[in-house]
Amino acid sequence: MTSKEAAQQQEDRLNSGSSASGMGAWLWHRAKPYTPPWILTGAVGVAGAGANTMWSDSPWGGVGLTLASVGLTAATWWAGRDASSQRRLHSAITVAAGSTWVTAAALSGPMTGPLPDLYAMGGATLALTWNIRQIMRTSTPETSASDSDKGLLEKVGLARTKLKNVTVEPNRVTVPYELPAGELTTDDVSKAIPRIASALDVPVTAIRHQADPESARRGQFVIVPEDKLKTPTIWPGPFAPGQSVEIPLRIGVYDDGSDLVLPLLDAIHLLVMGMTGSGKTEGALDILLEIFSRKDVAVWLADAAKSGQDFQPLLPAFDWAALDTPSASAMVAAVQAVIPARTSWLRDHSYRAWEPAVAEVQTDPAHSCAKAGACGCDGMPYLLAWFEEAAKLLRELGDDVFTGIAQEARSAGVSLVVSMQRASGYQLSTDTRASLPAAMCFGVKGDDASFALPEEVLDAGANPAAWANKRKGYVYLVSAGVDEDLYANPARTFWTGPPAEGTYERMARYVVEQFASVRPELGPVTAAAAERVAGDLFTNRRARAGIEGAPAVQSTVQPAQSTEQQESVMEIARYVDAEDADLDPTAELPAAEGTAALPEAKPGPEEARELLDDIIATLASVGPGTVAVRQITPFLEQIGRDRSWVSKQMKRLAEEGRLAATGEDGVYRLLPQLAGV
């Protein structure tokens, strides 16, 4: 009743007469809304008396009335399935009591035994309960939170779902649920998340679904209505300065304000994926700033795509920064080589896996390679191999280049980080992807998130496509050592400040200089294995990257005309070791044992093919692992064929599986059987 109606009613009362008839009319008017239960009670009494007249002596009448009583009660319960539980129960009890009394009165008479008393007391009591229920109603319709919940859940396709004790925290609501048995599963709940977000008018990423691993119909919703990650958090400094890499790396914050941490030793290998502008580089900087403040980890970086453009202030802290394709290719080979060397060292010192004690001098007799007592061997720090914008390297070396590393490095104290924009099957082999158990997924396009995040995380509400590159630094982290309930929770990596203000440069300089004495040397075991396969590309690695003022490698090739032949000579010369710098790459190959000298006459087809194989093998021994048709140009005269013949023969070798196409026209990757590896 509105205030206007109440005022009008009060005025009517004052103006009405005080006669008995006037008072009676008013009382009747006020009592009319409460008369239906009493009228029905009277109707039940009449029905009982009438039924007794008709069926008092009929056994079939008793059976029929009993069945009708049960059926009417069941129908009332079924019809009230969409009502509140209180109304449904109240209605069913009322119908059951009334129909039972009618049946009893019909069979034995309404005035027999306790039936008159039950009718008078029970009927009045039930009528009054309905009157009380009506009186307790307010001016608004009788609803409850449960009713509202049922209406919402029915709209989103989750009818008859029961919501349990709701927990309300600042900017976080947790709603446990139980689905109707045999009708819905937790998969249906995951599919309904967008509709629930629409009903609640919140972003899809604000709702997470956490299924109960022990039940197919239980779980909970977590609703975070306000996005508290809009304002970025400046990098607060090292989380565990001077301590072991065993302590997780703090790299950002979740939307509830808790720390986003990456347990590197649990993650083992990490895939970092996100489209251009999504904040992938910011996440990399956060990880590296943490790593460089630890005492027992060395870092190798391969960034042939951008030549370390994003990491320039941090380059002095890297043990090896491979900033061109030859160096990056050599780093891949070096990582492959150091794994068995490190595993053998761990075995000889009785370690089942890398642990912080491995990085220290071995003074414990229980971890000694000597027959008696401590061996005193130098320690072996943890190794992190970071391949930035790895798509270019994968095109050069093949999409399965990291497969062996990822599968074998687990127990060698080596972690692999592969960073790329899109880890599709065309760029990263499925075997390699399966060997990268941890993932950081920044904003992506379409359904690209499926390349990085497990299906169950996407079903739980993770949706990096909703950000794309509009929310820089937003990320989902999936890794061993992280609570699984956090997998679908969005987080944001720390911000290193506006580029124009040079905040990142100051942070990087602080870490590089402040913790220079903390960072370990690579260790003799790892260094020896890397030098054995990478040679000068490893031993001269800091000079090649321009670190610590090391002199740049001087080219021994004189300036040449811009002809195709001279360009090929210069390209070959760049990959020749210093001890071979005086050799003329255009000179005829010297005769070697088992290999005939190049004939002066034009060789036959078979001889020409053999010569081509020898030349490719020679180029493989001084090159970066790839060979191009243009590199064969200086040797066309010795082969006695033209460039088109060479191109066709290299395609033939690729079809035979002796070379592998790199995706670049006329450039092939050498396979071991041809390169003599």
pLDDT in tens, 390-413: 887 777 777 677 877 887 887 889
Same domain, 296 and 438: yes
More confident residue, 572 or 46: 46
Q: 673: Cβ–Cβ under 8 A, 6 or more apart, which residues?
A: 658
**Mean pLDDT of the region 464-473:** 86
pLDDT at 526: 92
List the alpha helices (DSSP H) in 56-84: 59-79
Give me the pLDDT at residue 252, please.
93
Label residue 676 left, alpha or beta by phi (over 0 means left) and psi (-120 to 50 means alpha): left
Residue ending a domain, choose from 198, 223, 248: 223
Residues 489 and 372 in one domain: yes
What is the pLDDT confidence band of residue 317, given thresholds at 50, 70 and 90?
very high
What pLDDT was estimated at residue 286?
Answer: 93
Number of structural domains the chain divides into: 4
Question: Is residue 234 in some structural domain?
Answer: no
Q: Which domain holds residue 577?
A: 564-675
Residues 460 and 311 in one domain: yes
> Which residues contact residue 263 at a Cβ distance below 8 angstroms, ignoring those fewer than 6 apart?
248, 249, 479, 480, 481, 482
Residue 23 lies inside a defined structural domain of this protein: no
CATH of the domain at 171: 3.30.980.40
pLDDT band at 576 (very low <50, low <70, confident <90, very high): very low
Are residues 131 and 154 part of one domain? Answer: no
* Domain match, 409 and 474 both: yes
| pLDDT value for 564 | 40
pLDDT-based confidence at 586, cuts 50/70/90? very low
Residue 102 sits in the same domain as residue 149: no
Residue 247 within a domain = no
Query: Does 408 lie in the same domain as 313?
Result: yes
pLDDT band at residue 9 under the 50/70/90 scheme = low
CATH assignment of the domain containing 331: 3.40.50.300
18 located within any domain: no
At 218-241, the pLDDT tens digits run: 888 888 877 778 888 889 889 999
Closest CA to 240 of 229, 251, 232, 253: 251
pLDDT tens string 634-647: 778 778 887 778 88
**Mean of pLDDT over the chain:** 78
Whether residue 255 lies inside any domain: the answer is no
pLDDT number for residue 60:
76
Specify whether 194 is located in the same domain as 106.
no
Calpha distance 627→659 (Å, rounded): 9
* Per-residue buried b or exposed e for 309-328, using 16+ beta carbons within 10 Å of the residue's own CB: ebbebbbbbbbbbbbbbbbb
Q: Are residues 97 and 167 in the same domain?
A: no
3-state helix, strand, coil in the chain (%, to 5): 50, 15, 40
Is a pLDDT exceeding 60 seen at residue 554?
Answer: no
Pair (402, 468) in one structural domain: yes
The reply to whether 551 falls in a domain is no
Tens-digit pLDDT profile for residues 94-124: 888 888 877 777 777 778 877 777 777 877 7
Residue 420 falls inside a structural domain: yes
Q: How confident is the model at residue 149 (pLDDT cuts 50, 70, 90)?
A: low
190 and 322 fall within a common domain: no
| 659-661 and 667-670 beta bridge pairing | antiparallel
pLDDT category at 601 given cuts 50, 70, 90 is low
Q: Across residues 648-666, what is the average pLDDT?
A: 76
User: Is 60 exceeded by the pLDDT of residue 594?
Assistant: no
Task: Quote the pTM value.
Answer: 0.59
pLDDT for the residue numbered 298: 94
